[in-house]
């Protein structure tokens, strides 16, 4: 079910300047499994993007009411989004993990601070009442580390910058970003053209203006590769996302249900 949460992030639209967008996410086996809200703010020289992924119903039960948020803040220089900080937060009923990545582009360093809180049951013997008593206790941990190698983008900034990916002659781009990159598993997106685009359009209709295929190599080389198609309207907003069949979950689809310009 981790795939459900990954899908929330990957199917977010990052092409409007100042907006709030919601996507509903569906799985073949379960129906609607959650939604994803995307908030984007810009003032010309700085940006802020926040993605909130929320499971519901059966998916929420299986994932212990998990909520994940992803936030990127930084500067805009010559049309490029450059992150200063990237924050990933995962919350369940009894666990919270916050990963804060701080970028130093001059030194080519990224500092990761990871903080965890876990609620556990502790049992002790109460000598006064002469019985065992169980209570909930928070266990906290914190660690810091400089990441190696240095990556100049995070998962959100790389998608903000990917809007130019189909403008040039190169149609296939490998992704190197905090939150997405893995040394052993390649991740890349490809702009579909000609016959491949025409075949994909049959799944989405004539409104599909730009279609990307996101490819993530599986951790287990024996597993089936599951690609995701992203369809953008002429307005530059994500219309829909479709992930191929996944073991016991089925195909997954994200559909834009609302879009509001902030100002």
Q: What is the count of structural domains for the chain?
A: 1
Tens-binned pLDDT, residue by residue, of the chain (263 aa): 444 555 555 544 444 467 888 999 888 777 888 888 988 888 878 999 999 988 776 655 665 667 889 999 999 998 889 999 999 999 888 899 999 999 999 999 999 999 999 988 888 777 777 777 778 788 899 999 999 889 999 988 987 887 666 767 778 888 888 877 555 667 878 888 888 878 777 777 666 677 788 877 665 555 555 678 888 777 667 778 887 766 556 678 888 888 888 76
What's the pLDDT score for residue 75? 95
**Which pLDDT score is estimated for 225?**
58
Predicted pLDDT of residue 1: 47
CA Rg, the chain, in Å? 21
SS3 7: helix
Give 34: exposed, middle or buried? Use CB within 10 Å, 0-12, 13-18, 19+: buried
What residues make up the domain containing 111?
A: 2-261
DSSP 169: S
Answer for the pair 42, 18: CB distance below 8 angstroms, yes or no.
yes
Distance CA(83)–CA(76), nearest Å, equals: 9
Strand, coil or helix: what is 110? strand
pLDDT at residue number 117? 93
CA dihedral 56, 154, 260, 206 (to 10 degrees): -90
Query: Is residue 69 reached through a cis peptide bond, with omega within 30 degrees of 0 on the bond before it?
Result: no
The C-alpha angle with vertex 154 and arms to 148 and 160, in degrees rounded to 5, equals 150
Q: Which residues contact 19 (CB under 8 A, 6 or more apart)?
A: 38, 39, 40, 259, 260, 261, 262
């Amino acid at each position: 079910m981790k795939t459900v949460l990954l899908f929330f992030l990957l199917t977010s639209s990052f092409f409007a300047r100042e907006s709030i967008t919601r996507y509903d996410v569906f799985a073949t086996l379960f129906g609607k499994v959650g939604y994803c809200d995307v908030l984007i703010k810009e003032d010309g020289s700085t940006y802020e993007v926040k993605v909130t992924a929320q499971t519901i119903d059966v998916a929420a039960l299986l994932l212990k009411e998990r909520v994940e948020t992803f936030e990127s803040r930084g500067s805009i220089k010559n049309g490029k989004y450059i992150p200063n900080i990237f924050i990933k937060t995962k919350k369940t009923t009894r666990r919270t993990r916050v990963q804060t990545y701080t970028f130093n582009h001059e030194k080519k360093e990224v500092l990761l601070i990871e903080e965890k809180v876990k609620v556990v049951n502790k049992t002790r013997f109460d000598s006064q009442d002469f019985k065992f008593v169980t209570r909930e206790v928070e266990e906290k941990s914190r660690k810091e580390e400089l990441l190696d190698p240095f990556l100049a983008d995070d998962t959100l900034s790389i998608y903000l910058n990917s809007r130019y990916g189909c403008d040039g002659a190169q149609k296939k781009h490998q992704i190197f970003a905090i939150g997405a990159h893995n040394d052993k598993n390649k991740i890349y997106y490809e702009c579909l053209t000609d016959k491949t685009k025409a075949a994909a359009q049959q799944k989405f209709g004539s409104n599909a203006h730009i279609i990307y295929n996101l490819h993530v190599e599986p951790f287990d080389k024996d597993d089936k590769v599951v690609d995701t198609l992203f369809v953008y309207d002429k307005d530059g907003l994500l219309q829909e996302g479709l992930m191929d069949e996944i073991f016991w979950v089925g195909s997954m689809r994200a559909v834009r249900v609302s879009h509001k310009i902030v100002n």
